[in-house]
Amino acid sequence: MMGVEFVALSLTPILIGVCVAVACALPGNFLLLRRQALIGDAISHVVLPGIVVAFLLTGVVATGSMLLGAAGAAVLSVIAIDLIRRLGRIEAGAAMGVVFTAMFAGGVLLLERSDTSSVHLDVEHALFGNLESLIWLDARGWSSLLDPAALSGLPVELPRMAVALVVVTAFLWLFWRPLALSTFDEGFARGLGMPTGPLGLALVVVSAIAAVAAFDAVGSIIVIAMFICPPAAARMMTNRLGHQMVWSAAFAAFSAIIGYVLAGYGPIWIGASASVSAAGMIATVSGVILGVAAVAGPHRAKAS
Amino acid sequence: MNISLVTDRTASNESARMASPLAIRGMTVSYGQNPAVFSVDVTVRAGAMTAIVGPNGAGKSTLLKATLQVIKPLAGTVSVFGKPLAQMRDRIAYVPQRASVDWDFPTRVIDVVLMGMYRQLGLLGRVRRHHHEAAMASLTRVGMADFATRQIGQLSGGQQQRVFLARALAQEADIYVLDEPFAGVDAATEKAIIAVLKELRDAGRTVLAVHHDLVTVPEYFDDVVLLNTQVVAAGPVAEVFTDANLQATYGGRLTTARIDPESVAG
């Protein structure tokens, strides 16, 4: 599988999968420690109506308008969550649960009522994405990686995800210190005069960028899994935040690679005829890693 | 209730407030309908240790948090050495309640102390040798140098409180604002913390702490603010810490054991 066929059919989906997984897992560490892990879940659900509305307004599936629509939906949901939390006086988790299921359901209804048959936009796509179809038809083997003509035929999802990964990493690197401080002790951070509100919002926005960019390529299943599973597993491997980030990125990348290979070749190895969903398998692998870490991780016990 | 509210509206008090390391005026905070802190004026004396004392739910922690803009007050101004708080942040070190953070957070003792140097280090400043040495010196002052590389979840309550104090010491501030520094700590830690605070006071620094143990107020503190949503009395312990004032603050409930259903900390 290391030849021409691999480069054309498997290399780009795997690279996209790795970019998605790492871009979601890195901010996931902070969301998890802030007890906001469900935000990743919420974002990946609420973007659906935004994307559908963007499509209905423009009539095309274009990255820019989809990102705008998704961003609009995300902002709307953040406001709605806050309103429900304040006016209804219920806890944030419940408010999120109400908003993101309602918005996702609204998105599904919109999708069914509108004519999207001509484009690749349906409920299944929203859940599982189409990672397997993001192949590189222009590739003629490894040498194509140096061939400008072939490179121009790369699926657009790859550079888009790469940019999202760079944005996420740059944000976390630049604001590492205030993020860590305000996540650990928000009161102290505010006492220093740190704008913890805008900082927390920026973290959510950056997570949303990763989620929205990933959504089209891989669907919401991977996004949800990658925001939570690799960081949670990483937490049980170390007692230092920096190390936890590295572990989570490693687990995420490992899940993407192994999950993709298992989905494509695993069923054939055991004698079945068809491959299974790569998105589903990648999420499953990340769940298995979490399970193993929960049983065998060196720092799994809560310190007494 | 016949209580004498402390009012300082005279001109001489105005100048005292300008010179004060921490002067709070008209501070009012509300959670929902009822004010938690109402129209509080406090002028902290420079180089003194001041306790804020009052029953559970009296708004002690709330007053501290609103003073440092950790929470947003409804009204009220704070001046630090006569200037607005925003310009004087680095003169103040704040020690929040120990229970307000998750001690399972993946970090080491030394990293927590280095957080106290955030304003020096900035976003991307490297932690250099002198930063590290200063952090270790702060830990030594609270007797925690041997624990520098421990994960914070492995510490006892008293050790956690000392680490929080070390982080404040690393800030090298002029004003130390502590929220319940003796809550749930062992006797040795209490002694160690009060010794450090007195050292700070003797070096001319100002200490303001929410305190819950009435017995130790005269021993530990110079000044006291008796608070029950409003200021009941404030001034030197010898003058203000009287039975009558305490009865007024605690609403006559002081001698009876009582479980206050509304009592959230501070």
Query: How is residue A116 written in tokens?
Result: 């999207």
Chain B nearest CA to A23, separation (Å): 21
ipTM (interface predicted TM): 0.87
| Contact criterion met (CB < 8 Å) for A184 and B112 | yes
Chain-centre distance for alpha carbon B229: 17
Cβ atoms A178, B123 nearer than 8 A:
yes
In what helix (H) or strand (E) does residue A11 lie, and over which residues does it extend?
Answer: none
Interface test with B, best of A87, A184, A196, A240 (most B CBs within 10 A): A184
- B73 at the A interface (CB within 8 A)? no
Cβ atoms A171, A201 nearer than 8 A:
no
Share of chain A above pLDDT 90, in %: 39
Angstrom distance (rounded) from CA A230 to CA A219: 18
Q: Would the pLDDT of A236 be above 70?
A: yes
Q: What is the pLDDT of residue B254?
A: 60
Q: What is the pLDDT of residue B138?
A: 97
Nearest to A42 by CA among A63, A28, A22, A61: A28
| Identity at A245, one-letter amino acid code | M
pTM for the predicted model, two decimal places: 0.87
Q: Which of B70, B102, B154 lies closest to A187 in CB terms?
A: B70
Pick the residue from chain A with its C-alpha nearest to B125: A177
Q: Would the pLDDT of A116 be above 80?
A: no
Q: Would the pLDDT of B196 be above 90?
A: yes
Q: What is the pLDDT of residue B229?
A: 93
| Identity at A277, one-letter amino acid code | S
**Window 144-183 of B, Cβ < 8 Å to A:** 151-154, 167, 177
Q: Would the pLDDT of B182 be above 90?
A: yes
CATH superfamily assigned to domain A4-296? ABC transporter involved in vitamin B12 uptake, BtuC (1.10.3470.10)
Give one DSSP letter per residue of A174-204, joined into a string: HTHHHHHHHHH-HHHHHHTT--HHHHHHHHH
Of residues A269 and A23, which shows the higher confidence score? Answer: A23
Q: In what order do the strands lie in the sheet with B75-80?
A: B34-44, B22-31, B75-80, B83-84
- B108 at the A interface (CB within 8 A)? yes
Angstrom distance (rounded) from CA A253 to CA A235: 16
Chain A nearest CA to B106, separation (Å): 4
Interface test with A, best of B115, B151, B172, B208 (most A CBs within 10 A): B115
Q: Would the pLDDT of B119 be above 80?
A: yes
Q: In what order do the strands lie in the sheet with B206-210?
A: B92-95, B175-179, B206-210, B49-53, B223-228, B230-236
Strand-pair partners of B251:
none
Size of interface A-B (CB pairs under 8 A): 82
In what helix (H) or strand (E) does residue A69 lie, and over which residues does it extend?
Answer: helix A63-88
Chain B neighbors of A243, CB-CB under 8 A: 106
Of residues A126 and B151, which shows the higher confidence score? Answer: B151
Q: Would the pLDDT of B242 be above 90?
A: yes
| Identity at A227, one-letter amino acid code | F
| Contact criterion met (CB < 8 Å) for B96 and A188 | yes
Cβ atoms B52, B227 nearer than 8 A:
yes
Which tens digit of pLDDT belongs to each residue from B134-154? 999 999 999 999 999 999 999
Model confidence at B253, pLDDT cuts 50, 70, 90, reads low
Interface test with B, best of A32, A176, A188 (most B CBs within 10 A): A188
- B32 at the A interface (CB within 8 A)? no
| Contact criterion met (CB < 8 Å) for B94 and A191 | yes
Q: What is the mean pLDDT of residues B23-50?
A: 92
Q: Which of A185, A187, A241 lies closest to B106 in CB terms?
A: A241
Q: What is the pLDDT of residue B18?
A: 74
Mean pLDDT of chain B: 89
| CA distance readout (Å), B241 to A260, B16, B56, B216 | 72, 22, 18, 12
Which range, A37-41, A268-272, B158-162, is most confident?
B158-162
| Contact criterion met (CB < 8 Å) for B151 and A183 | no
- B121 at the A interface (CB within 8 A)? yes
**Window 243-302 of A, Cβ < 8 Å to B:** 243-244, 299, 302
Architecture in CATH of B18-102+174-250: 3-Layer(aba) Sandwich (3.40)
Which tens digit of pLDDT belongs to each residue from B57-74? 899 999 999 999 999 999
Chain B neighbors of A244, CB-CB under 8 A: 106
| Contact criterion met (CB < 8 Å) for A185 and B68 | no
Which tens digit of pLDDT belongs to each residue from A35-78? 888 777 888 888 888 888 888 888 776 667 877 888 888 888 87
Domain ranges of chain B: 18-102+174-250
Q: What is the pLDDT of residue B2?
A: 45
Cβ atoms A95, A85 nearer than 8 A:
yes
Nearest to B145 by CA among B128, B126, B159: B159
Model confidence at A148, pLDDT cuts 50, 70, 90, reads confident
Cβ atoms B103, A239 nearer than 8 A:
no
| Contact criterion met (CB < 8 Å) for A188 and B167 | yes
Q: Would the pLDDT of B257 be above 50?
A: no
Q: How many CB atoms lie within 10 A of CB A56?
A: 15
DSSP state of A303: P
Q: What is the pLDDT of residue B108?
A: 95
Chain A neighbors of B149, CB-CB under 8 A: none
- A241 at the B interface (CB within 8 A)? yes
